[in-house]
Structure 1
Amino acid sequence: MNRKYLKITNKDGKVWLMPKRHMKTGLELYQPSSKKGLLLKRWLPWVYWLKPLMGKLGMSDIEYVMDPQIHHIIERKFNQNAVEYSVFEGTPCVHQKTTIQIFKGENILGYCKVTKNLELYGIFQHEQKLLGWLHEKGVGQIPECPYCGKTEDGNIVFLQTTTKTLNSLVGHELGIKQLEFLSMLKVKTGVEMLYYESDQYQTICSLKAHENLLTVSQQKIMSWAVDAIETYYGAQKQLFCAYHADFTPWNMFEDAGRLFVFDFEYGRCSYMPYLDMFHFLTQTAIFERELSAKQIYEEMLGRETELKEFFDNPWMAYLIYLVDVTARFVVRDGLSRTSDVDKLIKIWFELMELVMNKLK
């Protein structure tokens, strides 16, 4: 069925398709970090019919129809008919994918990720397997995956459930609920093993195989950092646990007093406990407050006492995080890195140098 939609394009080239019918529900897919975006989400359902204003904001009317094969899978797996959609066409990068919110009236049913990229198919399958493993371990407050597969015309479809409602809130501060979730991961999935047996080590190995993607100066910094990490771990067994790897406000929400966390695409089973804290703090500082590496480092200095409650050596833990996140993006994007990813990598390397100076 054709629906009337509003096409929203931001300055970074990201595109959302919002249904004019039940737009308030559809906008729950839209997770802005800027003040302008937050205002847009709040007021758009009331002013979208003002065409001159929409034109000035770079929005336009379009007709959109869901792919019939995807629509059939969604209705069958969620046991619903006449479902509705809002669409995010994805962040421009090597792993760009379409994300679709599935809803009916004011009831949000779940989400669907769609791509034709076979590499992403492997990532979707990994996420399906990881979610199943986490559920087996007793981890709650995460989605279930009712379907992961291909359509006849080559689309790769990943479905996940949600508990999100119109009353759900997105918290932009690292608080008690986020820490309780990470504590649950540690308790439910923690296991002692050697560093060289962990997924954390495997990420470093993949970076070493792609070190040609770094500049000469970056290779030197990374070599020093990796040597420091391997010396830190030594040959003693350590506790490792599940790691989300993209633990940010835009991948979680709070509802009825509980935190629900999703998008485990890059999650792993054996990483240092609580390492996700650094991703939350660093990425919100970059994307939501546009802080420099020096400013982020100074904020971490101010949190040192707090961080010591979770890490025996907070600065080594932060270095481990910075090496890991850099490795994942360098290996993931390869020679197809965008300028936005290069800016992130530059900040992470600047932070590595500051942290290494602190560790000396």
Structure 2
Amino acid sequence: MLAATWRAVQPDGAIMVWSDLRSAPSLLRTLDSLHPRPVTRDRYVELDVLGHAKVALPTAPRVVAGAASSTLPANRAISRIAREVYRTLARAGLAQWLPTRCAYVIAAAPPTDDSAVALLTRWQPRRLYFSVHSGLPGATQKLNIRLFDEAGKLVAIAKVAAHVAADETISREIAALQYAATHAAIASRVPRLVDHGTIGARPFLVQSIVEGTPATAVGARLDPRVLELLRVLAQSTSEQMRFDEAAGVQAVYRRVARVIEAGAPPWPRLLARLQQRVRQTAPQLITTVLAHRDFTPWNLLLTADRANVVDWEFAQTQHVPLCDLVHYLVQYAVLVEKSDVRATVGACRDVLQHASTMAAIGRRPLSRREQQFALAFYLLDTVSFYQANYLVQRPPFWQVDWLEGVWFNMSMEVLSEAVDG
């Protein structure tokens, strides 16, 4: 599904259009079919690691509607949504935020009520940047709004659930930021919760801006700032308890049970085997931590001396240590270093023994059993999460690639090894 953006014309007159199309050529072909003036390759600016393309277009005095598919029904639907959003904002007296010369590319799942308008009226920003995300089916269908002050400085980001399926993720981020605010060591590393509540039936939050440059641009696989952040998170939020009683463990087990009951092959059998491996290798007592669960290079913002982390929508208290570290290593290897599956698995396993000590999550290099446990639980959590969303709606192709590529092969390697002491 198209995760799209609409934005006011930039000071230089360019229009920034974002699309989930995977390659620049396909993006340009789609834009060529929609725009009255040809879009040449020198207009192409950037194609980032997830395939989100940023393109500067000549200003057009009309609404430009685009979709991942260039079929007429899709374009008509997108155009209708664009007109409805424009009219809604105009009725609310917010038409001054919409320049007469701009382009719109709207996602297929906008809010169905006036929650966005109510939030804008409440905060009265001077400039707006809208982004409707529907990348994870049933999980992240939300409206992101960037709020600027009179000087044009970005001062806050608002998030509004655009669908009932996103209520949980917005509420989860609110809870995580509230939890982080009570821990002085990490409060300055995460966004500050400026405001939250409900508008209509949908939850919303407003959070402060966090400084830093994404680790995709300036980091390294084992950047000491990232490891130091993991150490701070682990030390500040650790709780010791029985493994099976941890809230994070119970949440994963419930999700796995739902996927297995649904019986969509081949994942139920794989998840059942991973769960068995987790139970074989899990310690009776465990020190749990607050886990981000989307600890990816683009959610880590690096400054000269530290790492900060944003987007806490999937956070979980009382979770298994090392899962965030494994997720970061895998995502960095595949999406930043462009490693193949085997190299990714090998790098992850090699680094685990030492990185956990460097991050002070463990006090010594991990034994083989501890490595098996960390990797198996990470895979159980991650694969079941995406498979649960797959049951709601078929995910975008890049998520299918992950499931059928890296995670599946990692799972097979973990399961193929004998468990020792």
Same structural fold, with TM-score higher than 0.5 when normalized by the shorter chain: yes
- Asked whether the 8 Å contact 2:246–2:288 carries over to 1, the reply is yes
Q: How is 1:51-66 mapped onto 2 (pairs within 5 angstroms)?
A: none
User: CA 1:319 to 1:45, structure 2 compared with 1: closer, same or farther past 3 Å?
Assistant: closer
Task: Indicate yes or no: 2:354 matched with 1:297.
Answer: no
**Match among 135, 149, 155 for residue 181 of structure 2:** 135
Amino acid paired to 1:192 = Q
Task: Indicate yes or no: 2:164 matched with 1:115.
Answer: no
For each residue in 1:240-295, what CA deviation from the matched residue of structure 2 results, as whole angstroms up to 9, or x when unmatched? Answer: 11000001122232246432211111101111223201111222334445544323
Aligned position for 1:13: 2
Whole-angstrom CA distance in 2 between matches of 1:71 and 1:308:
46
TM-score (normalised: structure 1): 0.77
- Asked whether the 8 Å contact 2:161–2:170 carries over to 1, the reply is no
- Asked whether the 8 Å contact 1:22–1:106 carries over to 2, the reply is no
Residue 239 of structure 1 deviates from its aligned partner by: 0.6
The higher radius of gyration belongs to 2
Secondary structure at 2:213's aligned position in 1?
coil
Aligned position for 2:412: 353
Whole-angstrom CA distance in 2 between matches of 1:72 and 1:31:
27
Q: How is 1:140-179 mapped onto 2 (pairs within 5 angstroms)?
A: 140=187, 141-152=189-200, 156-164=203-211, 168-172=212-216, 173-174=220-221, 175-179=223-227
- Asked whether the 8 Å contact 2:326–2:375 carries over to 1, the reply is yes
Q: Which runs of 5+ in 2 are unaligned?
A: 28-43, 68-78, 93-114
For each residue in 1:58-99, what CA deviation from the matched residue of structure 2 results, as whole angstroms up to 9, or x when unmatched? Answer: 9xx98975844645535645xxx5421212221342222222
User: CA 1:331 to 1:285, structure 2 compared with 1: closer, same or farther past 3 Å?
Assistant: same
Residue 219 of structure 1 deviates from its aligned partner by: 2.9
Residue 336 of structure 1 deviates from its aligned partner by: 1.7
Secondary structure at 1:88's aligned position in 2?
strand
- Asked whether the 8 Å contact 1:316–1:359 carries over to 2, the reply is no
Residue 226 of structure 1 deviates from its aligned partner by: 1.2
Whole-angstrom CA distance in 2 between matches of 1:46 and 1:330:
32
Moved more, 176-185 or 341-350: 341-350
- Asked whether the 8 Å contact 1:85–1:102 carries over to 2, the reply is yes
Whole-angstrom CA distance in 1 between matches of 2:338 and 2:134:
18
User: CA 1:72 to 1:218, structure 2 compared with 1: closer, same or farther past 3 Å?
Assistant: closer
Query: Which structure is higher in RCO with an 8 Å CA cutoff and minimum separation 6?
Result: 1
Moved more, 274-283 or 205-214: 205-214
Aligned position for 1:86: 129
Aligned position for 2:382: 325
Task: Indicate yes or no: 2:258 matched with 1:258.
Answer: no
Whole-angstrom CA distance in 2 between matches of 1:102 and 1:248:
24
Q: Give the alignment's Cα RMSD to 1 decimal.
A: 3.9
Q: Which runs of 5+ in 1 are unaligned?
A: 1-11
Whole-angstrom CA distance in 1 between matches of 2:205 and 2:12:
24
Residue 353 of structure 1 deviates from its aligned partner by: 0.5
User: CA 1:98 to 1:355, structure 2 compared with 1: closer, same or farther past 3 Å?
Assistant: same
Q: How is 1:232-247 mapped onto 2 (pairs within 5 angstroms)?
A: 232-235=281-284, 237-247=285-295
For each residue in 1:170-201, what CA deviation from the matched residue of structure 2 results, as whole angstroms up to 9, or x when unmatched? Answer: 11234112111111111111010011111232
Amino acid paired to 1:100 = I
Secondary structure at 1:146's aligned position in 2?
strand
User: CA 1:186 to 1:86, structure 2 compared with 1: closer, same or farther past 3 Å?
Assistant: same
For each residue in 1:102-132, what CA deviation from the matched residue of structure 2 results, as whole angstroms up to 9, or x when unmatched? Answer: 2234411111222342232233222212211
- Asked whether the 8 Å contact 2:389–2:395 carries over to 1, the reply is no
Whole-angstrom CA distance in 2 between matches of 1:46 and 1:208:
43
Residue 217 of structure 1 deviates from its aligned partner by: 4.7
Whole-angstrom CA distance in 2 between matches of 1:118 and 1:50:
36
Moved over 6 A (4+): 29-32, 34-38, 61-64
What percent of counterpart residues are identical? Answer: 14
- Asked whether the 8 Å contact 2:326–2:352 carries over to 1, the reply is no
Q: How is 1:154-303 mapped onto 2 (pairs within 5 angstroms)?
A: 156-164=203-211, 168-172=212-216, 173-174=220-221, 175-202=223-250, 203-215=252-264, 217-235=266-284, 237-255=285-303, 257-288=305-336, 291-303=339-351
Whole-angstrom CA distance in 2 between matches of 1:161 and 1:225:
39
